[in-house]
A and B are shown apart, each in its own frame.
Chain A
Amino acid sequence: MSDYRIQGDTGEWEVVIGLEVHAQVTSNAKLFSGASTTFGAEPNTQVSLVDAAMPGMLPVPNRECIRQAVRTGMAIDAQINTWSRFDRKNYFYADLPQGYQISQLYHPLVGEGSIEVSLDEKNPDGATKVIGVERIHVEQDAGKLMHDQHPTRSYVDLNRSGVALMEIVSRPDMRSPAEAGAYVRKLRAILRYVGSCDGNMEEGSMRADVNVSVRKPGDELGTRTETKNVNSVRFVMAVIEQEARRQVEVLESGGRIVQETRLYDPDRNETRSMRSKEDAHDYRYFPDPDLLPLELDDAFLAECRASLPELPDAKRHRFESLGIAPYQAGVLTAEVEAARWFDTLLDAGAPPVAAANWTTSELFGALNRTGRDITDSPVGPAQAAELLALVADGTLSGSLAKQVFEVMLETGESPAKIVEDRGLKQTSDTGAIEAVIAEVMAKNPNQLEQYRGGKEALFGFFVGQTMKAMGGKANPAVVNALLKKALAA
């Protein structure tokens, strides 16, 4: 995976990737004002005097946004800077009411950290790679221009103006689209576990600026381009592929890569130049004089740390320690909601390995089929635990459990009630089973003779016939034992 190479006319090229991920902080209020942050509200209904930059308005930091960014930093083992400062990034645009964005250039809240990504989805314990995170700083989002409301005018929606973002800046440590994809997925999972960002890329709560350069393996870093506001994992990977290929073509045809900002067009699957370094703004960063430096005390840090949940890797390792296969543990911990659902199932006493098998195959399969999310699963962990307990104590066979689960999905009834009402209970009554076995043997003399003549593969045939005759309710272990005895007689 890390030997991803672009084959050019002059040989192989290596791709170097760094990502700046903008993640909207989960908070009821904006970074420096009390205005609400609900997505999808009517334009300009979530705008305070501060967000509209009315004369004399001042920013006051929202403690919850800072707290979320600090918790995120802790979740990636990053250095938390107990002294940080806000800077103004100055530029004019109609979606930026203050004429500057309050950000953190010189002294970010969170310093060096790292994220470990699995390079093989099938085996999360296999090859991994540590991607460095250079920093996380908090900053304000801008508003949104609307060009489709009037034939000659543009409108401005300031609902998003002032919403808190974390900018998570990676080191240029990634070497392939797949690594970048794994990094974004892992980062997204961590953010969602921590609860500092909902990770919703479609709604723009998470978007990435993708920095790409190419070089001959072993050479110095090449000139990079930055493709802005890429809003899905798939697009991040596509941007890297397209951009790396484009850069190789430019270089091999004797051209030079221009350091520039590019935009991705998903419809054409290509990146386009937006502005070059020569047109780049001089942002005139300087410390925001409206704000004092941000100083964090030990009590605040301790609270942030204490409030951190178990994170994806730790959870996966714990699941594995219960005997669950690494791949399944990876699947179960990929999404925070599913992981929490599964933890509740374990807490309800379900046997881990059986629970993992059942959840990843039966439950996820059913949810997939019905287009549901784990959060609105018709079967809750408590009911599932009941079902698994009925399997464990021999009341239900695997196939009976499937039937019961189907009914649970439809009716929401408890498994015990379904078993009771529909008589789906598995039987271990040896007398009844022996009677059926005798019947099956009598009805199939040819097969019996062949089996006894050495064709032992026919054992399965007799199991099937016996189970069928018993309506699937016979305990398969008992059937097996009794059949073996009867056939050998």
Chain B
Amino acid sequence: MMTDLTDLGIAAIRDGVRAGSFSAVEVADAFVVKVARAKALNAFLVETPNHALAAAKDADAARAAGEVLKPLAGVPIGMKDLFCTAGVPTTAGSDILAGFTPTYDSTISQNLWDAGAGMLGKLNMDQFAMGSSNETSAFGNVISPWRRSGGSNADLAPGGSSGGSAVAVSARLCPGATGTDTGGSIRQPAAFTGISGIKPTYGRCSRWGTIAFASSLDQAGPMARDVRDCAIMLAAMAGFDAKDATSLKLDVPKWEHGLSSNLNGLRVGIPKEYRIDGTPEEIDALWQRGIDWLRDAGAEIVDVSLPHTKYALPAYYIIAPAEASSNLARYDGVRYGLRDLPEGAGLQDMYAATRADGFGEEVKRRIMIGTYVLSAGFYDAYFTQASKIRTLIARDFERAFEQCDVILTPTAPSAAFALGEKSDDPLAMYMNDVFTVPSSLAGLPAMSVPGGLDKHGLPLGLHLIGRPLDEQGVLNAGLAIEERAGFVARPEAWW
């Protein structure tokens, strides 16, 4: 019997299509069927089988014509619904963009199409990428394919905000998916679902056409089964874009070719401030295993200090909402998306009604926080101070990277929690980002790779942070962990 094509990752599909082991259309068909059968997970908001099939046909035709195949020829992917896609509805998980179909493709999606990828559909997410559990989506939460061992059938959170992406990859509905990461939105869901995901250096991936949450933090990145697949997909997504003034004018390195798990001479920093009271023992144990694996791969382990770590979360929850409160002002009911115009209402009433109805609770909470911290009389106390902290945090990393080349921490302070478990306690929810937020504030490349399972059989992730532009160092350390962790667990299909 032929291998189930949906068990294959990006590299395997790419190589198989090139070798003619199977056709791209066969791959697309297999995933399309899986997507259609996985409605219970609520990972897809829109299914676009024709998009995936058209790209697959192009790949097969190119191969038949003897052409050199594009880097992602024959690879169907999932697209987080934060990326605008021409002719395909794009909502950012929010009612306020109900009925909105862009006429344009984001630079990221266009780059992927140009690389030969096709799209299986648009992936559910926390509304406007604000959330760590996917419960803030206006279209119902995504459900993790993972279940606790020992008979509990509680639906688990896939993490967020790229929860649909994480679930789609983890449940083998697509070999790779785009994510975005503002404070951990790629890495935390990757950790919760046992997959890999990398947030590149701020500026590597264009933000043009990606619906903004917090402009100075938002970065796109790939989520996939393993480190190599992340390297391949990131290379297709990244690159300078003149339409984004914060885009880095740099060539895209050949990350896949540079992959090496030989870490001889590499110094791995262990930041003492990331040992937080109340962290489950299992997380600490996993961290220690990660340290052992990297030492085994040839790395030298050094203790480093990131003294301002404890201020990162508060600073993040000032800066990100401040930017969001302004970025989301354009959803006003005037030009597109939802318009709620009560009988006899004026302009101000229309704004109020539209935004009250269109935005979810978490989005409104952050708009309120952001508006508050930017208000006259509070700006210096909050926004200015937070910006200073951000500078100090970046300096912490600069100093740490004088002593080490890559930093290892856990990705999240716990394994996946049950849906509803933290949704009434925003502060507890915000704590999920405690390990991922500092590197976001500093704009550094960082990735999560699966490290093992907790006592309930749920995945745990290890987190690697690199110097600016050193995605390669992060990927290589990730690869060394991947090879030693031997993470083969996968959720049993119940959907």
Collect the chain A residues with CB atoms within 8 Å of residue B351's CB. Answer: 92
- B230 is an interface residue with CB less than 8 A from chain A: no
Contact of A56 among B106, B329, B374 (CB under 8 A): B106
Collect the chain B residues with CB atoms within 8 Å of residue A292's CB. Answer: 245-246
B335 touches A100 (CB 8 A): no
- B171 is an interface residue with CB less than 8 A from chain A: no
- B193 is an interface residue with CB less than 8 A from chain A: no
A55 touches B97 (CB 8 A): yes
- A94 is an interface residue with CB less than 8 A from chain B: yes
B211 touches A55 (CB 8 A): yes
B332 touches A92 (CB 8 A): yes
- A170 is an interface residue with CB less than 8 A from chain B: no
A49-73 near B? 1/0 per residue, CB < 8 Å: 1001111111111000000000000
- CB-based nearest A residue for B92: A55
- CB-based nearest B residue for A92: B351
- Whole-angstrom distance from the CB of B371 to the nearest CB of chain A? 7
A156 touches B244 (CB 8 A): no
A57 touches B208 (CB 8 A): yes
A97 touches B326 (CB 8 A): no
Q: How far is A286 from B384 in the complex, measured between Cα atoms in Å? A: 9
Collect the chain A residues with CB atoms within 8 Å of residue B348's CB. Answer: 92
Q: How far is A282 from B378 in the complex, measured between Cα atoms in Å? A: 11
- A8 is an interface residue with CB less than 8 A from chain B: no
- A284 is an interface residue with CB less than 8 A from chain B: yes
Of B38-46, B162-170, B212-220, B308-316, which binds chain A?
B212-220
B245 touches A58 (CB 8 A): yes
- B61 is an interface residue with CB less than 8 A from chain A: no
Collect the chain A residues with CB atoms within 8 Å of residue B181's CB. Answer: none
A98 touches B374 (CB 8 A): no
- CB-based nearest B residue for A286: B374
- CB-based nearest B residue for A98: B330
A284 touches B347 (CB 8 A): no
- B290 is an interface residue with CB less than 8 A from chain A: no
A289 touches B323 (CB 8 A): yes
A58 touches B208 (CB 8 A): yes
- A323 is an interface residue with CB less than 8 A from chain B: no
B330 touches A53 (CB 8 A): yes
CB contacts under 8 Å to A, within B287-340, are 322-323, 325-326, 328-330, 332, 334-336
B375 touches A59 (CB 8 A): no
Collect the chain B residues with CB atoms within 8 Å of residue A52's CB. Answer: 335
Q: Is the interface of B mostly helix, strand, loop or mixed?
A: loop
- Whole-angstrom distance from the CB of B205 to the nearest CB of chain A? 13
- A121 is an interface residue with CB less than 8 A from chain B: no
Collect the chain A residues with CB atoms within 8 Å of residue B102's CB. Answer: 54-56
- Whole-angstrom distance from the CB of B462 to the nearest CB of chain A? 30
Contact of A61 among B90, B245, B335, B374 (CB under 8 A): B245
A76-97 near B? 1/0 per residue, CB < 8 Å: 0000000000001010111001
B82-116 near A? 1/0 per residue, CB < 8 Å: 01100000101000010010111010000000000
Collect the chain A residues with CB atoms within 8 Å of residue B456's CB. Answer: none
A58 touches B207 (CB 8 A): yes
Contact of A49 among B100, B104, B212, B246 (CB under 8 A): B104
- Whole-angstrom distance from the CB of B394 to the nearest CB of chain A? 15
A55 touches B326 (CB 8 A): no
B330 touches A99 (CB 8 A): yes
B181-211 near A? 1/0 per residue, CB < 8 Å: 0000000000000000000000000011111
- B242 is an interface residue with CB less than 8 A from chain A: yes
- A322 is an interface residue with CB less than 8 A from chain B: no
B245 touches A53 (CB 8 A): no
B211 touches A286 (CB 8 A): no
- Whole-angstrom distance from the CB of B323 to the nearest CB of chain A? 5
A286 touches B383 (CB 8 A): yes
- A290 is an interface residue with CB less than 8 A from chain B: yes
- Whole-angstrom distance from the CB of A288 to the nearest CB of chain B? 8
Collect the chain A residues with CB atoms within 8 Å of residue B2's CB. Answer: none
- A291 is an interface residue with CB less than 8 A from chain B: yes
- CB-based nearest B residue for A145: B347
Q: How far is A285 from B378 in the complex, measured between Cα atoms in Å? A: 12
Collect the chain A residues with CB atoms within 8 Å of residue B215's CB. Answer: 289-290
Collect the chain A residues with CB atoms within 8 Å of residue B326's CB. Answer: 88, 90, 99-100, 284, 286
- Whole-angstrom distance from the CB of B420 to the nearest CB of chain A? 30
B211 touches A56 (CB 8 A): yes
- CB-based nearest B residue for A281: B376
B379 touches A58 (CB 8 A): no
Given A55-B84, A292-B245, verify A97-B334 contact (CB < 8 Å). Answer: yes
Q: How far is A54 from B97 in the complex, measured between Cα atoms in Å? A: 11
- CB-based nearest B residue for A282: B376
Given A56-B212, A282-B376, verify A99-B332 contact (CB < 8 Å). Answer: yes
Contact of B347 among A88, A94, A289 (CB under 8 A): A94
Collect the chain B residues with CB atoms within 8 Å of residue A100's CB. Answer: 326, 329
Q: How far is A154 from B345 in the complex, measured between Cα atoms in Å? A: 13
Q: How far is A55 from B336 in the complex, measured between Cα atoms in Å? A: 9
Contact of B334 among A54, A156, A291 (CB under 8 A): A156
Collect the chain B residues with CB atoms within 8 Å of residue A53's CB. Answer: 330, 335
- CB-based nearest B residue for A95: B334
B245 touches A291 (CB 8 A): yes
Collect the chain A residues with CB atoms within 8 Å of residue B212's CB. Answer: 55-56, 290
A58 touches B243 (CB 8 A): yes
- Whole-angstrom distance from the CB of B376 to the nearest CB of chain A? 5
A264-294 near B? 1/0 per residue, CB < 8 Å: 0000000000000000001011100111100
Q: How far is A55 from B82 in the complex, measured between Cα atoms in Å? A: 9
- Whole-angstrom distance from the CB of A97 to the nearest CB of chain B? 6
B330 touches A97 (CB 8 A): yes
- CB-based nearest A residue for B337: A55
B379 touches A99 (CB 8 A): no
Q: How far is A289 from B84 in the complex, measured between Cα atoms in Å? A: 20
CB contacts under 8 Å to A, within B356-407, are 371, 374-376, 379, 383
CB contacts under 8 Å to B, within A288-308, are 289-292
Collect the chain B residues with CB atoms within 8 Å of residue A282's CB. Answer: 375-376
B246 touches A286 (CB 8 A): no
- CB-based nearest A residue for B105: A56
CB contacts under 8 Å to A, within B38-84, are 83-84
Q: Which of A55, A98, A289 has the most chain B CB atoms closer than 10 A to its own CB? A: A55
- Whole-angstrom distance from the CB of A293 to the nearest CB of chain B? 11
- Whole-angstrom distance from the CB of B15 to the nearest CB of chain A? 33
Q: How far is A54 from B102 in the complex, measured between Cα atoms in Å? A: 8
Q: Which of A57, A97, A289, A291 has the most chain B CB atoms closer than 10 A to its own CB? A: A289
- Whole-angstrom distance from the CB of A46 to the nearest CB of chain B? 16
Q: How far is A286 from B327 in the complex, measured between Cα atoms in Å? A: 12
- Whole-angstrom distance from the CB of B243 to the nearest CB of chain A? 6
Contact of A284 among B207, B209, B210, B375 (CB under 8 A): B375
- Whole-angstrom distance from the CB of A70 to the nearest CB of chain B? 18
A31-44 near B? 1/0 per residue, CB < 8 Å: 00000000000000
Q: How far is A296 from B349 in the complex, measured between Cα atoms in Å? A: 44
A56 touches B383 (CB 8 A): no
- Whole-angstrom distance from the CB of B332 to the nearest CB of chain A? 6
B106-141 near A? 1/0 per residue, CB < 8 Å: 100000000000000000000000000000000000
User: Which 9 pairs from chain A and chain B are nearest by CB?
Assistant: A99-B329, A289-B215, A284-B374, A289-B216, A56-B209, A53-B330, A55-B211, A282-B376, A290-B215
Known A-B contacts: A55-B336, A100-B329. Give 16 more (CB < 8 A). A55-B84, A55-B102, A56-B83, A56-B84, A56-B209, A60-B242, A60-B245, A88-B326, A94-B347, A97-B335, A99-B328, A284-B379, A286-B322, A286-B383, A290-B207, A291-B245
**What are 23 of the A-B contact pairs (CB < 8 Å)?**
A52-B335, A55-B84, A55-B212, A56-B83, A56-B84, A56-B106, A56-B209, A56-B210, A56-B212, A60-B243, A61-B245, A88-B326, A90-B325, A92-B329, A97-B330, A99-B329, A284-B325, A284-B326, A285-B379, A286-B374, A286-B383, A291-B245, A292-B246
